[in-house]
Structure formats: structure tokens, C-alpha cells
Amino acid sequence: MAEQVYWDDVSEGQEIALTEPMESQRLVIWAAASGDFYQIHYDDNFAKNNNLPDIIVHGALKGMLVGRLLDEWKGEQGKIKQWGVSYRGMDPVREELTIWGKVTKKYENAGETLVDLDVGVAQPNGTQTTPGTATVALPRR
């Protein structure tokens, strides 16, 4: 279990990240978990017949990986208020993706101590495919 992070200790500009290998097996597990059985995510021939170079990572899986990044960072006492991403580019399988966040604002609102973050998913060559934002409530010390 991750150590608890406190709002007092977070600073604007702080970065968090995790890396995930995206093998085809992962996409099949996600298909079962999400009910998204669109063949562009597991059928090479189907993907290529739809003008794709290969099967591609589900957009929603990338969105939920961002959710995991936030969940693991906030600790047991934190709370994700919201997160959202746009799927601006395709991520082919068999690459390691970096899921990242960067604190953009630290503030208090209605009795909560909050941080806003930019979030995203990056390919090994640095290409950003999934930009978004998030808000997380963190405890005070």
C-alpha cells in the first residue's frame, strides 16, 4: 500500500507517473472487464481492414489507467473528485505506456483541500495521446 500523501506536502509542478506494458493479453482482459468487444482491439485482420496498422489500446482502458494513477497516489484518506481524458491519438499494443500527472493548482474550496492536475498517457517516443485533467482531495497533516 502506498504511503499517504498529504495536501500540505504537495507542490504545484509536482509530477507523478506509472508505466504499463500494453500486451495483447491485457486488451483481452480489458475487453472482458468492460464489455467492449470491438475487434480493432484484439483481431489483427479486422484492425488492418479498418485502416489501422495493428490492434490498438482501448481508449477507456487508458482513461482507467489514469484513474489508477490517481487512486494509488491519493492514498486511503484522499478522494478522487473527478478525472477526464480525451482520446486524441491511437496507442498500438506491444509498447510501454507512461501514465502521468502534474499538479497545476493547489487550493481550498468548501472545506476541502484540493489539487488539480494535468494528466495524460505518453508513448515511449514521447507522443501524447490522451490529455486530460483531474481534481483530487487530499488530507491535511
Partner 1 sequence: MAEQLDDLTDDMKAAVGQETGRTTYEVTTQGSRTFARAVGYTDDKYYDEAAARALGYTGLPAAPGFLGMPVFNPQGDGRDEAFKNPFERRLNGGTEVEPIEQVYSGDILEAVSRITSLELAAGRLGQMLIQSSESVYTRQSDDTIVAKTRGTGISY
Residues in touch with partner 1 (CB under 8 A):
1, 20, 26, 29-30, 32-35, 50, 58-61, 63-65, 67-68, 70-72, 76, 79-87, 132
> In angstroms, what is the minimal distance from the CB of 89 to partner 1?
11
Closer to partner 1 at the Cβ: 7 or 58? 58
Distance CA 61, CA 40 (A): 14
> In angstroms, what is the minimal distance from the CB of 52 to partner 1?
11
Distance CA 108, CA 98 (A): 29
C-alpha cell at 4: 499517504
Closer to partner 1 at the Cβ: 9 or 33? 33
Contact 40, 51 (CB under 8 A): no
Closer to partner 1 at the Cβ: 75 or 123? 75
Closer to partner 1 at the Cβ: 1 or 11? 1
> In angstroms, what is the minimal distance from the CB of 81 to partner 1?
7
> In angstroms, what is the minimal distance from the CB of 55 to partner 1?
15
Task: Name, in order, each residue with C-beta under 8 angstroms of 60's C-beta and a sequence gap of 6 or more.
Answer: 30, 34, 36
Task: Name, in order, each residue with C-beta under 8 angstroms of 11's C-beta and a sequence gap of 6 or more.
Answer: 103, 106
Distance CA 80, CA 88 (A): 23
